[in-house]
Amino acid sequence: MGNKETLRISTRFGWGIGTLTVSLMFQATGLLLLFYLTDVVKIPAATAGLLIGLAKIYDAFTDPIMGRISDRTKTPWGKRRPYVLLGTLLCAGSFILLFNLATFADSPNIIIIILAALLLNATGYTIFNVPYLAMPAEMTSDYHVRTNLMSFRVMAVAVGQIGGSAGGPALILYFGDGINMTNSFGYTGMANILALIMVAAGLTCFWMTRKASFVESSIAHQGSRSSFFEQFKTAFSVRPFAILLGIKITQLTGFAIFLGSLPYLFSRIMLASNDLKFYFLVQGTVMFASQPLWVYMVGKIGKKNGYYLASLLWGVGGLSWMMVAEGEPTIGIIIRGVLLGLGAGGLLLVGQSMLPDTMQYDYQKTGIRREGIFAGVYTTVEKISFAIGPALLGLIIGYAGYDASAETLSDNVRLVIYLCAGGLPVASLIISCLLMILYNLNVQTFKEE
């Protein structure tokens, strides 16, 4: 099995940069897609949110199937890496399609076209992400090396956030009219540029992980023969993993609502669309730069305490969005970017490093390698969270009476945008912290085995 000596820096970097493929797509769609559908394609907010939610649910329930397929795959390239390559190409192609939907805006079948594009994109995400997340537990069994390995991924997530959430709006304005976020040509140009970067990142991951030592076992595929529902039963029977799922679904549902609400907050309340990319540039840069600090802190105070500290930082920054108004000073945006960047960096590092810990715990207890099953169920929960989030956001602002063509917002709409940007995400984060109390894996757990 891989260890600290054999897991080279180049391998860690190569695996980590792979997440840039899905991070760029995830950040850009999470931030911009609902707004694009409501304000460019002119789809009602509730309908757009529902379509995104349906695609995410489909995406979620294909994950365990993908996990089982990758567990049982045998190729000269390994059982995970071929799907990284295929998923990269599907993600990039479908991403371009998503942000060219305005071309079909006048079609009587526009709803079907949107749903088909969303499903294609979801399929690419599943094919890439499930095998990708199963790789770390097969690359190393060292508790601290897994944390370090995940720091490379979180740094790539930060770069993806800068590219998708800061670069995305900047590219839209560059290729559009340079003034607002509703020019369809801007979205086309943005999608083309980001898709090229996604392909480059995926190919780099595929190439640089070719020399990694992936563990194999004569009983490696036993767990993958179970049915769809048996896989869920198996995963939930491992208590630390079940607790981790609860932590992730509460945290990520709030994050999804937060991310989707920001274009409305910046463009319709703060009247500062150009500042959105600046905020994400600050947040993403801090998130990237904070990784060595978080690796050190987690090594000193443990993953649970690291999670609580990161939650505090994110929560303070998140609640402050409820106080913004037109003419918000730049220093306020910078402070929020720093707080949320620090918080997000810690939350992502701890959450991601806990996944291979639970995989290793299961292997030590059972002697069966089921990384694909666990990765599939984990990403299912992630995607359910990001199905619930946009669907709730679309329904909430739609119910409040949001009208994309209205020059001013009603008090009800303003209130729900504030709540979705601050109150609801922080409430969900508090719930995840309460669940973290129940999580009991630490370095001593693996030393005792």
305-321: burial string, b at 16+ Cβ within 10 Å, e else: ebbbbbbbbbbebbebb
Structure tokens at 395: 């329904």
Pick the CATH number of 9-207+223-447 from 1.20.1250.20, 1.10.3210.10, 3.30.420.40, 3.40.710.10: 1.20.1250.20
The backbone region for 78, taken as left when phi is positive above 0, alpha when psi lies in -120 to 50, beta otherwise, is left
- Rounded to the nearest angstrom, the gap between the alpha carbon of residue 190 and the centroid of all alpha carbons in its chain is 19
CA dist., res. 183 & res. 195, Å (int): 19
- What's the whole-number mean pLDDT along residues 38-67? 85
Write the pLDDT tens digit of every residue in 196-237. Answer: 999 999 999 999 988 766 655 444 444 445 555 777 787 788
Secondary structure of residue 105 in the 3-state scheme: coil
User: Residue 186 — very low, low, confident or very high, per pLDDT cuts 50/70/90?
Assistant: very high
User: Residue 448 — very low, low, confident or very high, per pLDDT cuts 50/70/90?
Assistant: low
Domain boundaries, the chain: 9-207+223-447
Structure tokens at 378: 């984990």
The residues, ordered by sequence, that sit 6+ positions from 410 with a Cβ below 8 Å of its Cβ are 400, 401
Is the model's pLDDT at 358 over the cut of 90? no
User: Residue 4 — very low, low, confident or very high, per pLDDT cuts 50/70/90?
Assistant: very low
CA dist., res. 444 & res. 74, Å (int): 35
CA dist., res. 185 & res. 178, Å (int): 11
Residue with tokens 């950040």: 27
Global confidence as pTM:
0.74
Radius of gyration of the chain (CA): 21
Q: What's the pLDDT at 245?
A: 92
CA dist., res. 171 & res. 218, Å (int): 50
Is the model's pLDDT at 266 over the cut of 80? yes
- What's the whole-number mean pLDDT along residues 61-74? 82
Mean of all residue pLDDT scores within the chain: 86
